[in-house]
Structure 1
Amino acid sequence: MIVAMDIGNTNIKAAVFEGSRLVKRWRCATDPAMTSDQYGIIMADLFRYHNLNMQAVEGIMISSVVPTINYTIEHMCRDYFHLEPRLLVPGMKTGLNIRYENPRELGSDRIANAVAVSTLYGGPAIFIDFGTATTYGVISAKSEFLGGAIGPGLRMMNRALSTGTAKLPSIELVLPPQVIGKTTVSNIQAGILYGYIGSVEKIVGQMKLELGGADIRVIATGGMAHLVKSNSDVIDEINPDLTLTGLRLIYERNL
Structure 2
Amino acid sequence: MLLAVDVGNSHTTVGVFEGEVLRCELRLATRREWTRDELAVGLRQALGLAQLDFSALDQAIVACVVPPVLGPLTEALVRYADIEPLVVGPGIRTGMPIRYDPPQDVGADRIVTAVAAHERHRDGEHGLIVVDFGTATTFDVVTPRPEYLGGVIAPGIGIAADALFERAAKLPRVDISRPDRVVGRNTVGAIQSGLVYGYIGLVEGLIARIRSEVDWPCRVVATGGFASIVARESSAIDVVDDALVLEGLRLIHGRNGATGSRGTKRAPS
Give the TM-score category using the shorter length.
over 0.9
- The offset of 1:60, in angstroms, is 1.0
2:263 counterpart residue number: none
CA-to-aligned-CA distance 1:146-171 (integer Å, 9 cap, x gap): 11111011100000111122221211
Consecutive aligned runs of 4 or more in structure 1 exceeding 6 Å deviation: none
Once the two structures are overlaid, the 10-residue window that deviates more, 191-200 or 69-78, is 69-78
**Aligned-partner residue type, residue 33 of structure 1:** E
Quote the RMSD (CA, aligned, Å): 1.4
Asked if 1:211 corresponds to 2:214, the answer is yes
CA-to-aligned-CA distance 1:160-196 (integer Å, 9 cap, x gap): 1111222212111011111111211111111111110
2:5 counterpart residue number: 5
Report the Cα distance in structure 2 between the residues aligned to 1:125 and 1:49, rounded to whole angstroms. Answer: 35
CA-to-aligned-CA distance 1:112-154 (integer Å, 9 cap, x gap): 0111122222241111110000001111111011111110111
Report the Cα distance in structure 2 between the residues aligned to 1:227 and 1:52, rounded to whole angstroms. Answer: 33
Report the Cα distance in structure 1 between the residues aligned to 2:37 and 2:174, rounded to whole angstroms. Answer: 35
Asked if 1:21 corresponds to 2:21, the answer is yes
- Segments of 5+ residues of structure 2 without an aligned counterpart are 258-269
1:39-78 paired onto structure 2 within 5 Å: 39-78=39-78
2:254 counterpart residue number: 252
TM-score, with length taken from structure 1? 0.95
Counting aligned pairs with the same residue, the percent is: 38
Report the Cα distance in structure 2 between the residues aligned to 1:68 and 1:48, rounded to whole angstroms. Answer: 25
**Aligned-partner residue type, residue 128 of structure 2:** A
Report the Cα distance in structure 2 between the residues aligned to 1:27 and 1:100, rounded to whole angstroms. Answer: 30
Once the two structures are overlaid, the 10-residue window that deviates more, 91-100 or 73-82, is 73-82
Contact kept? 2:33, 2:68, Cα under 8 Å: no
Asked if 1:102 corresponds to 2:105, the answer is no
2:201 counterpart residue number: 198
**CA 1:104 to 1:34, structure 2 compared with 1: closer, same or farther past 3 Å?**
closer
Higher relative contact order (CA 8 A, sep 6+): 2
CA-to-aligned-CA distance 1:198-243 (integer Å, 9 cap, x gap): 1101111121222245x52111111111111121121111111201
What SS does structure 1 have at the residue aligned with 2:26?
Answer: strand
Once the two structures are overlaid, the 10-residue window that deviates more, 67-76 or 146-155, is 67-76
1:45-194 paired onto structure 2 within 5 Å: 45-122=45-122, 123-194=126-197
**Aligned-partner residue type, residue 225 of structure 1:** A
Asked if 1:227 corresponds to 2:229, the answer is yes
- Segments of 5+ residues of structure 1 without an aligned counterpart are none
- The offset of 1:49, in angstroms, is 2.9
